[in-house]
Each structure stands twice: as structure tokens, then as C-alpha cells.
Amino acid sequence: MAPSTGAPSSPASLPSGSYLLTVSMSTSGTSGFSSCVSLTIDMDGQPPPFVAVIVPTPVHVERAGNSVTITPDDPSATFRMDLQIAGGNLAGTASGQYGSNATTMAVTGRTGTPAAVIGTIGPDFTSGALEGTISVAGFSCTNNGHSWMLTAR
């Protein structure tokens, strides 16, 4: 994937540059523990139904050797993804929060530690799974089914 500045890259490269990060909250995991909580109630005193939420944000990718750091362009955001590259695969952690169109997304691990992240570098985008807790607008889901994707901008 090539960012908006620079030459085209090989299928398994992830150069420094400007990207769009999209994190998707899942309401169920692919296996094992999964839990969702709502801090809001509707007019009948019931929590609203859970729905998956997708929140994109412009980010900057900084690569140094096999280390990759992803941070939002918004200086007030605390979100950070720290990854290590091994071949075409990525592994690392993510935590913090960022906002997009008046929606704030927070990412943590299950016990307040950073969430675990894995992924694959592809020719057109980089994507993977996130295991931990994602909170958006009063909804919070903890599982291993959350996903993320980086695309060039």
C-alpha cells in the first residue's frame, strides 16, 4: 500500500505517510469471551440494541525498520497503535481514543492494558483484528472480533 506521497510500494510494504484508519467495533467475537454493555436506556427503560460501529480517522504512519507507529492527525487524540512487522504480518498493541464526526471511539485491552492487534499488509490496504474493548457513544464491547483497516489517502 502506498501513501499519497511517494512511489508505489511492493505488496508487503507499509511506508511512512498519510492514511485513513477505520476501526470497526464488533458486537460478538470470533471465539471465546464476548461481552457488550450499554450506558444508555430508551424511553421504555431498556438499553438500545447493539450494533457494530465503524469510525474512520485520518492518521500518520511512521515506520522505522520493522517498527510501525500509527497516530491520528488530530493532536488532541490519545490513540496510538504500535506494531512490529514480520514479513507481511503485523502484531502489537493499540490504545487511546480519537474522534470522527462528533463520535469518539476509545480502545483498551480487557484489563485496562492496551488491546492486542494483529494484521496483514496487502497491496491495496492493511487490515487485521483487534482484541480488547471498544467504546463508542455509551456502548462498550469486549471481544476478539473488532477489526481495523488502513488505506492510503
Q: Establish if 12 belongs to a structural domain.
A: no
Q: Establish if 11 belongs to a structural domain.
A: no
Count Cβ atoms below 10 Å from residue 5 Cβ, excluding itself: 10
For residue 50, is it left (φ>0), alpha (ψ between -120 and 50) or beta?
A: beta
- Does residue 4 register a pLDDT over 50? no
Q: Establish if 9 belongs to a structural domain.
A: no
- Owner of C-alpha cell 458486537: 27
Q: Which domain holds residue 105?
A: 17-152
Could you give the CA distance from residue 62 to residue 9 in angstroms, rounded to a whole number?
Answer: 15
Which candidate, 73, 51, 47, 53, places its Cα nearest to that of 62? 73
Q: Establish if 7 belongs to a structural domain.
A: no
Domain containing residue 129: CATH number: 2.40.160
Q: Establish if 83 belongs to a structural domain.
A: yes
Q: Establish if 121 belongs to a structural domain.
A: yes
The predicted model scores a pTM of 0.84
Overall domain count for the chain: 1
- Does residue 47 register a pLDDT over 70? no
Q: Establish if 3 belongs to a structural domain.
A: no
Q: Comparing 53 with 148, which gets the higher pLDDT?
A: 148
Contact 80, 117 (CB under 8 A): no
Give residue 27's pLDDT band: very low, low, confident or very high (50, 70, 90).
confident
For residue 112, is it left (φ>0), alpha (ψ between -120 and 50) or beta?
A: left
**Amino acid residing at 36:** C
Q: Establish if 81 belongs to a structural domain.
A: yes
**Amino acid residing at 16:** S
